[in-house]
Amino acid sequence: MLTALIVDDETNARMALRGILEEKFRDRISVIGECKNVPEAVRFINMQKPQIVFLDIEMPEYNGFDLLSFFQAEQIDFQIIFVTAYNEYALQAFEVSAVDYILKPVRAEHIERALQKVEHLTAKPLAYKTLQENLQEDLPKKIVLQNAENIFIVKIADILYLEAEGSYTKFVIENSSEILISKKISDFEFLENYPNFFRSHRSFYINLEKIKRVDKKDFTIEMENGKMVSLAQDRKKGLLEKIHQ
């Protein structure tokens, strides 16, 4: 049973979230408190040590992100599930930052999705910091990648390519390092929103700025590190158009 704190300046919002948690998730979550602002939440967290904090972002005086400034990184031993009304475009920052969130108005299925992640992860202050930075950009500049051992903060511009390996995805970074993530390559479709990324094949996303050569006869692409990447025949025209752009 996970213990939880709800932080929101609106009474009705707190009541609605508590109602869903107690009705649909009472066998997994025990709500041990509610707070209407960040200072109250900081005091409660220090005293009661909840495992999960459902944290509204838009609040007067201190917003949800300000909560993090009251703790040292090593003190953040609780998980945060942000409660947000951000539009779909801004939500991309949450996705690339590997931060859990639920949308307003809150629905049980949103909570379920977030809990599936939270119940298997530890707190990640680096990811929260990256989220703050990414929300300040039109397109997020960093992505949080995590495996069983580590959390990596990677500049999206430094990615050479992504390669599918079954239900895993391999990220190859500019300094030749490789990071294997237990997610399918389809989970990274948002990279197509970036003008420099292109899906050359069902198994590859490539950074167009890291291409060294395109073999138009053999349908292959040579990346800066010498890797030959597949180019699907039906993607050839799209690639050439992207390069010319």
pLDDT over 90 at 115, yes or no = no
Q: Do 82 and 103 meet the contact criterion of CB atoms below 8 Å apart?
A: no
Q: Report the pLDDT value the prediction gives residue 96, as an integer from 0 to 100.
A: 84
Query: What pLDDT score does 88 carry?
Result: 64
Which among 91, 67, 94 has a CA at the least distance from the CA of 6? 67
Give the per-residue pLDDT at 27: 94
Domain covering 149-244: architecture: Beta Barrel (2.40)
**Phi/psi at 34 (nearest 5 deg)?**
-135, 145
Distance of alpha carbon 240 from alpha carbon 245, whole angstroms? 9
Q: Provide the pLDDT for residue 124.
A: 67
Question: What is the residue extent of each domain of the chain?
Answer: 2-134, 149-244
Task: List the CATH code of the domain at 2-134.
Answer: 3.40.50.2300
- Tens-digit pLDDT profile for residues 133-152: 888 888 889 999 988 888 89
DSSP H or E stretch at residue 115: helix 108-118
Among candidate residues 157, 115, 128, 148, the one with its CA nearest the CA of residue 28: 115
The angle at the Cα of 122, spanning 144 to 83, to the nearest 5 degrees, equals 70
